[in-house]
Amino acid sequence: MVTGGAGFLGSHLCERLLAGGDEVVCVDDFSTGRAENIAHLLDLPGFRFQLQDVTQGLDVPGPVDAVYHLASPASPADYLRLPLETLLVGSYGTRNALELARRSGAGFLLTSTSEVYGSPQVHPQPESYWGNVNPIGPRSVYDEAKRFGEAITMAYRRTHGVRTTIVRLFNTYGPRLRADDGRAVPAFITQALEGRDLTVTGDGGQTRSLCYVDDLVEGLVLAMGSGHSGPINLGNPTEVTMGELALAIRDLCGSSSRLTFVARPQDDPQQRRPDIRAAREELGWAPRTSLEDGLRRTIAWFRDTADAGLPAHRGEAATALA
């Protein structure tokens, strides 16, 4: 089972599991996921879609071997628009997914986030770092939902013996990102392709580490099979400033767009880079796709989507990546 399976990351995970011979139940309520992300999977043998809000309960007929819990708004625009829903899916939704795993004797993987580190005072961020999070700021609805998700996941492991794994995902990008979801990569691409100014927050000096979606999904599958409790960081340790990212995307798009600078959101981290030693040692995992190659693939998808006349999702001011 993949909760949030019609989302950006979830749909790629469903594809990877099907390609590996697994049967997949994709659960989503389309609050942030999109039907078109999984339309090409609906007729494949072994794939089943279940329209369901995981905060209201979670059940499927037949045996379940693994529960990948990805359901949650994950971009700034989404979790700021859906603050209560974000908190509920991190709490009730995670409990319901854990209960399904407990009843089924299934493995359980929680996709947590680098946001649990907040605005880090340790760089790069190892899993042992407890973070620097503002618990009452606007971003806290996502940060604290994931922190609670980690806590209840470990409680189920200790109390009920559920085979759980926690992974902390750093910034991920690739095809199927919504241009209007508030993340910098799709916003910059859309702006560059349309010849509009690229809106960079702050002075553009803040950094992120960007992992291509195919690499990240492979890490999820390896983590589920590892038996390691985690948390384990999954992300690309190559760091880039937002200004550098905007220029790289502009050049790869062949655009003459200018960079303009806007105010940074509250509690926006200044720097973000994962320490991935645990992923290398415990999973044998490291990202393989260079930023240039990943951006080229992502830009090509955005171009093809626009050329095909699919619904437009305009990218406006890029906020901090989530």
pLDDT in tens, 183-201: 999 999 999 999 999 999 8
* Residues annotated catalytic, as ranges: 142
Check pLDDT > 80 for residue 211: yes
pLDDT in tens, 276-313: 999 999 999 999 999 999 999 999 999 998 765 454 34
Paired tokens of 293: 């190659």
Q: Which residue has the higher pLDDT, 28 or 320?
A: 28
- pTM: predicted TM-score of the whole model, two decimal places: 0.92
Burial 52-64 (b: 16+ CB within 10 A, else e): bbbbeebeeeeeb
| Interatomic CA distance for residues 46 and 40, integer angstroms | 13
Check pLDDT > 90 for residue 59: no
What are the two backbone dihedrals, phi and then psi, of residue 207, each rounded to the nearest 5 degrees?
-115, 155
Q: Which fold has domain 2-172+211-234?
A: Rossmann fold (3.40.50)
Give 246's Cβ-side CA count (13 Å radius).
30
pLDDT in tens, 96-153: 999 999 999 999 999 999 999 999 999 999 999 999 999 999 999 999 999 999 999 9
| Interatomic CA distance for residues 1 and 98, integer angstroms | 12
| Interatomic CA distance for residues 234 and 35, integer angstroms | 27
- pLDDT band of residue 316 (cuts 50, 70, 90) is very low
Share of the chain above pLDDT 90, in %: 85
Nearest to residue 191, comparing CAs of 316, 302, 320?
Answer: 316
Q: Looking at residue 268, what is its pLDDT?
A: 80
